[in-house]
Chains A and B, each alone.
Chain A
Amino acid sequence: MSVIYILLTVSVIVGVAFFIVFLLAVKSGQYDDSYTPSVRMLFEDELVKKQTKQSTKSKTD
């Protein structure tokens, strides 16, 4: 069997795999709201900051 068959199979499988991932992403609702996640991802740092601030505050009180 020629190498071309292997290459074609691999490329088609890779293509199809990405396509399936795309379908799953759409299905899970990732494309319904394209704004909120962009804000949400910035919150983790804020939470940490809040805790440290809270502790300094209690010291001064």
Chain B
Amino acid sequence: MENKSCFHCGDDCGIHPIIVNDKSFCCNGCKTVFEIFSENELTCYYDLQHSPGTIPKEVAGKYDFLAQDNIIEKLTEFRSDTLEIVTLYIPHIHCSSCIWILENLNKLNTDISDSQVNFGKKTVRISYNSEKTNLKDVVLLLCSIGYEPYISLEDFQSGKKHINRTLIYKLGVAGFGFGNIMFLSFPEYFEVNEYWLEQYKHLFRWLMFALSLPVVFYSAQDYFISAYKGLRSKLLNIDVPIALGITVLFLRSTIEIIFDLGSGFFDSLAGLVFFLLVGKYFQQKTYDFLSFERDYKSYFPIAITKIDKDGHEDSIQVYDIKKGDRLLIRNEELIPVDGILINGRGKIDYSFVTGESQPVSKVSGDKLFAGGKQTSGVIELEALKSVEQSYLTQLWSNDVFNKNKEDEFTTITNTISKHFTITILSIALIATTFWLVIDASKAMNVFTAVLIIACPCAIALSAPFTFGNLLRIFGKLKFYVKNAGVLEQLAEIDTIIFDKTGTITSNKSSHAIYDGEGLTQDEALVLKNSLRGSNHPLSRTLYDILETHDIVTLDHFNEHIGKGIEAQHQAVNLKIGSAHFVGSPMEQSALNTTVHISSNSNYKGKYTFYNSYRKGVAKLFNALKPHFDLVILSGDNEGERENLKKLLPAKTKLIFNQKPEDKLEYIKYHQSEGAKVLMIGDGLNDAGALAQSNVGIAISEDVNVFSPACDAILDASKFKHLFNYIKASKSAIKIIKWSFVLSFLYNIVGLYFAVTGQLAPVVAAILMPLSSISIVVFTTLCTNFLGRRLK
């Protein structure tokens, strides 16, 4: 029998789909969403995209804090008596159906006056009538149709976001100036000696001067600032010759038109600034929907339910939690502070923190660490610390989170610019001295001409276009890099450090090995069938691993939550679960996750779960081994040491039991010995190490949902291609070096004109854009070729 996929979310419906209007659904949640849409004539949702939805989650009580006035105040962009505007981040936005349904929210709730999606950022901006509805209702509506917004502590703090559009303004001003100056220069290019041109040339020239003013003083100001900063810290960065070139261009052109010596170089000046800014804009490409700066605040909730002495439940802000507070954590809620479990059965999923996907069972009296997610039922805990002092959040008080990695790194462009600037200045001086002897009237002319023509526009454009294009190519291959600097650093890496759980192991699958007395045919049958009835994650995993058997109806089935399953079929009575529940003679193993089995009260054996490594890990390590030092730095115990030894090439260092701070210190130590470290991790516990390393890459199963602060995010499915990305970065450096050679050739041609004192404005106006454009074409073609080899 072929299973149908759900009409709403596309998941497998299983054997018993829910059928409504000839359409099958995997669960009631999906069916409900479909019903909401069809009642409101919104079924067009399903026409735009096949199975676009997601299963709505149970959110009862989760958003009660949204009724609080101070929280609404912080989250909304605009607030008046009748109107509130809020922008919500919704990770599920992924297709045109999503845009359509979210922009038609007013059909579901007429008090919503407008909703607008920003697809790139995955946000929706909703305006609603705050007299008739409220933020909580709007959020609950979104949840009910499967678009649960992501509201975290970060939203609470950052407040109103400011969009920086300066660069596009600057680019616009430069483009405007460039175009108009070009038009006004045309008559002079052709040197038409007609009477009317002679008469009006001053007007033309002064107009050009006026147009160049905003270009120089507004559009180009960043280059002056950067050059000034560079000189102050005794660094000849690429902006120094650029700023020098712009200054000389402007001054010489102004002097020329004042004393009627010529038409000046305003066209080249504006063109230069325009091309430089285009390069900057191109490189600035970022991934709106990804954030590389996340810390624990992005994951923690804004508010949590507190139970006061009389048993009243109250929403309080996370920052207001004090030691000793009694807190209520519902299913799927995150534990914001370290605490002691008082009531209820804890099943804590620490995958945000460690990358470990199996939830950990906790009983009353156990200590719970902040960052875990409760996955079964409601628990109560008593806070031991405040949010900032918890075990996990303390990591962020480390200095490493406050320093800027880029400041300490000299880019390839700046390295070359040092030699370049010195060479150009020497050439200028020698040429000037020569002309002082031969023909003193031309000396000043030659000096300025050298500085103008040598202005390293092409050099400054090489790196932005090469890296900018490579960023785009990597992005298409699901490797999202923060900026161009990261690519340069990636090319210099010599040590690679991996986290274990969640990084080289996969979150999604694990495998189990049976250890003990063999099971009879009947027992195996009952085992498979009883696991079928259980929803526990370990049962699901084990069920998928075991061979298929016939489906039989069990005579008796009972799931003791938190302990195990008891099942009866004919003569076989199986107990499956924890060592204690089953009555194992052995103590529960501390190192690995196990499931024990007993049949008719006789202990049979246990399944031990091992991490399942990502596909291609061994191959990747073997490929990397000749080029890099490899280290595994794990927060876990040594349970997997033997497995890893077998899997990975010899000499790979394996270090276990590392606390988050230990990882950071380990990297710091190696850096002090000159190593360039690439850290690859996934959980919040790697955040320190990712920040300390030269390049920190976060591995993520779903790039929209989770990743700690890092320099790049790599989709887990592309993990095995890591080496290719590093090789591509190295090739990119080669491309840049070749384009430097190319631009030097242009400079030599230009310098010939300059040194011999025959640099006409028209030569400069042709040579400068020509060199810039050919560099752009060269680097783009090369990187595209590189990208094709990557695929």
Chain A interface (Cβ < 8 Å from any Cβ of B): 2, 4, 8, 11-12, 15, 19, 22-23, 26-27, 29, 31-36, 39-40, 42-43, 46-47, 49-51, 54
Given the complex of chains A and B, what is the CA–CA distance between A11 and B179 in angstroms?
12
Known: A29-B163, A31-B165. A11 touches B183 (CB 8 A): yes
By the criterion CB–CB under 8 Å, are A8 and B203 in contact? yes
Given contacts A33-B121, A42-B96, A54-B43, 14 further A-B contacts (CB under 8 A): A4-B196, A4-B200, A8-B203, A15-B176, A19-B173, A22-B172, A23-B169, A32-B118, A33-B119, A33-B120, A39-B119, A43-B103, A49-B44, A50-B47
The reply to whether the CB of B168 lies closer than 8 angstroms to some CB of chain A is: yes
A-contacting residues, B164-201, CB 8 Å: 165, 168-169, 172-173, 176, 179-180, 183, 196, 200
Known: A32-B163, A36-B99. A50 touches B43 (CB 8 A): yes
By the criterion CB–CB under 8 Å, are B121 and A50 in contact? no
Closest to A4 in B: B200
By the criterion CB–CB under 8 Å, are A39 and B44 in contact? no
The reply to whether the CB of B41 lies closer than 8 angstroms to some CB of chain A is: yes
Min CB–CB distance A16 → chain B (angstroms): 8
Given the complex of chains A and B, what is the CA–CA distance between A31 and B176 in angstroms?
17
Given the complex of chains A and B, what is the CA–CA distance between A11 and B85 in angstroms?
42
The reply to whether the CB of B117 lies closer than 8 angstroms to some CB of chain A is: yes
Known: A19-B172, A36-B119, A50-B41. A8 touches B165 (CB 8 A): no
Residues of B within 8 A of A33 (CB): 118-121
Given the complex of chains A and B, what is the CA–CA distance between A44 and B118 in angstroms?
18
A–B pairs, 15, beta carbons within 8 Å: A2-B200, A4-B196, A22-B172, A23-B172, A26-B169, A29-B163, A31-B165, A35-B119, A36-B118, A42-B96, A49-B47, A50-B41, A50-B43, A50-B44, A54-B41
Residues of B within 8 A of A46 (CB): 44, 47-48, 100
Residues of A within 8 A of B551 (CB): none
Closest to A34 in B: B120
Min CB–CB distance B535 → chain A (angstroms): 37
* 6 pairs of A and B residues whose beta carbons are closest in the complex: A50-B44, A36-B119, A33-B118, A19-B176, A35-B119, A39-B96
The reply to whether the CB of B412 lies closer than 8 angstroms to some CB of chain A is: no
Closest to B179 in A: A15
Residues of A within 8 A of B173 (CB): 19
Residues of B within 8 A of A12 (CB): 180, 207
Residues of B within 8 A of A11 (CB): 183
Given the complex of chains A and B, what is the CA–CA distance between A39 and B103 in angstroms?
12
Given the complex of chains A and B, what is the CA–CA distance between A32 and B118 in angstroms?
9
User: Chain B interface: which size bin?
Assistant: 20 to 34
Known: A23-B169, A35-B119. A15 touches B200 (CB 8 A): no
Residues of A within 8 A of B41 (CB): 50-51, 54
Residues of A within 8 A of B121 (CB): 33
Given the complex of chains A and B, what is the CA–CA distance between A39 and B117 in angstroms?
11
Residues of A within 8 A of B99 (CB): 36, 39-40, 43
Given the complex of chains A and B, what is the CA–CA distance between A34 and B661 in angstroms?
42
Min CB–CB distance A12 → chain B (angstroms): 7
Min CB–CB distance A18 → chain B (angstroms): 8
Closest to A42 in B: B96
Given the complex of chains A and B, what is the CA–CA distance between A36 and B48 in angstroms?
15
Residues of B within 8 A of A2 (CB): 196, 200
Min CB–CB distance A20 → chain B (angstroms): 10
Known: A4-B196, A31-B165, A33-B118. A40 touches B180 (CB 8 A): no
Closest to A37 in B: B119
By the criterion CB–CB under 8 Å, are A43 and B203 in contact? no
Residues of B within 8 A of A31 (CB): 165, 168
By the criterion CB–CB under 8 Å, are B168 and A26 in contact? yes
By the criterion CB–CB under 8 Å, are A26 and B165 in contact? yes
Residues of A within 8 A of B119 (CB): 33, 35-36, 39
Closest to B103 in A: A40
Of the candidates B96, B103, B117, B207, the one whose C-beta lies within 8 Å of that of A8 is B207
Closest to B210 in A: A12
Min CB–CB distance A7 → chain B (angstroms): 10
Given the complex of chains A and B, what is the CA–CA distance between A2 and B165 in angstroms?
41
Residues of A within 8 A of B203 (CB): 4, 8
Closest to A54 in B: B41
Min CB–CB distance A11 → chain B (angstroms): 7
Min CB–CB distance B205 → chain A (angstroms): 12
Min CB–CB distance A17 → chain B (angstroms): 11
Given the complex of chains A and B, what is the CA–CA distance between A46 and B45 in angstroms?
10
Min CB–CB distance B724 → chain A (angstroms): 28
A-contacting residues, B134-177, CB 8 Å: 163, 165, 168-169, 172-173, 176
Known: A35-B120, A39-B99, A50-B44. A15 touches B163 (CB 8 A): no
Given the complex of chains A and B, what is the CA–CA distance between A32 and B161 in angstroms?
13
Min CB–CB distance A3 → chain B (angstroms): 10
> Quick one: CB contact mask for B543-557 with A, threshold 8 Å, 1 for yes?
000000000000000
Residues of A within 8 A of B42 (CB): 50
Closest to A11 in B: B183
Residues of B within 8 A of A29 (CB): 163
Known: A15-B176, A26-B165. A47 touches B200 (CB 8 A): no
Given the complex of chains A and B, what is the CA–CA distance between A47 and B48 in angstroms?
11
* Residue of B99, B116, B179, B183 with most chain A CB atoms under a 10 A cut-off: B99
